[in-house]
Structure 1
Amino acid sequence: MFIAYAVVAALMSAVLLASAGAKFTRPKRLVDQMSTLALPFGMLPFLGAAQIAGVAGLVVGLWWGPLGIAAAVGLTLYFIGAVTTHLHVSDFKGAPPAAVLAIVAAVLIGLRAATL
């Protein structure tokens, strides 16, 4: 189970780092999406920092399991919030990717908990 956690955490970390990078560089596609979601652009650095903190927690969680679980819980809540935000503004195209990431984060909770 630990190897499964390590592999899924590595893949999730890669996705999160790419997403956080976009939040700091603000490409047009992301700016348009934030406008659709009615989120202020001042939120982007906070959202990017939250994703980077999640990556750090998942990586350190390889050595200290409780932190990996806490990071996965935080990421699950983060992406549930993303799904809720997309659905709130009827952005049905943006909700499924966030839902998949919420599910992956929830799987990470179980994988790391199983190896404590």
Structure 2
Amino acid sequence: MFTAYVIVTVVAVAANAGIAVADLVGARFVLANSAEVEVPASWIPGLAALKAAGAAGLLIGLLGVRPLGIAAAVGLVLFFVGAVVAHVRARVFRNIAFPAGYLALNTAALVLVAR
């Protein structure tokens, strides 16, 4: 079970850090998606900071500060629940798999870190 925790958490750290960087550099797909789900562009840097903080917290949890890892995983799960809700509210279903995938990945990390 520890191996699964390490693998899932490392993938979650990389995925969340990667999308945070995409947010910060203003990747075209990020700007288009946020506009489509009616998230103001001015929110993107703050949302990127939350994702980056979550990734850092998962990593620190993996390195031994388990309560921080749990808190980071909870935060990321809540973040991506919000992202899925934003897609549903805006009726943007063609790319809902992306926030749903991040939600699933971060939920798996939470389940494994909380064991």
TM-score by length of 2: 0.92
Equivalent position of 1:66 in the other structure: 67
Following superposition, the deviation at residue 104 of structure 1 comes to: 1.7
Equivalent position of 1:53 in the other structure: 53
5 Å-filtered alignment, 1:1-116, equals: 1-62=1-62, 63-114=64-115
Following superposition, the deviation at residue 29 of structure 1 comes to: 2.1
Equivalenced residue count is 114
Following superposition, the deviation at residue 100 of structure 1 comes to: 1.9
Alpha-carbon distance in structure 2 between the residues aligned to 1:102 and 1:31? 20
Following superposition, the deviation at residue 20 of structure 1 comes to: 0.7
Alpha-carbon distance in structure 1 between the residues aligned to 2:106 and 2:84? 13
Following superposition, the deviation at residue 34 of structure 1 comes to: 1.4
Whichever residue aligns with residue 57 of structure 1, its letter is G
Following superposition, the deviation at residue 26 of structure 1 comes to: 0.7
**100-109 vs 66-75, which deviates more?**
100-109
Whichever residue aligns with residue 55 of structure 1, its letter is A
TM-score by length of 1: 0.91
Following superposition, the deviation at residue 27 of structure 1 comes to: 2.1
- For the residue of structure 2 that corresponds to 1:38, the secondary structure is coil
Following superposition, the deviation at residue 28 of structure 1 comes to: 2.1
Following superposition, the deviation at residue 87 of structure 1 comes to: 0.8
**83-92 vs 105-114, which deviates more?**
105-114
Alpha-carbon distance in structure 2 between the residues aligned to 1:96 and 1:34? 15
Question: Aligned residues: percent identity?
Answer: 34
Give the alignment's Cα RMSD to 1 decimal: 1.1
Alpha-carbon distance in structure 1 between the residues aligned to 2:105 and 2:28? 27
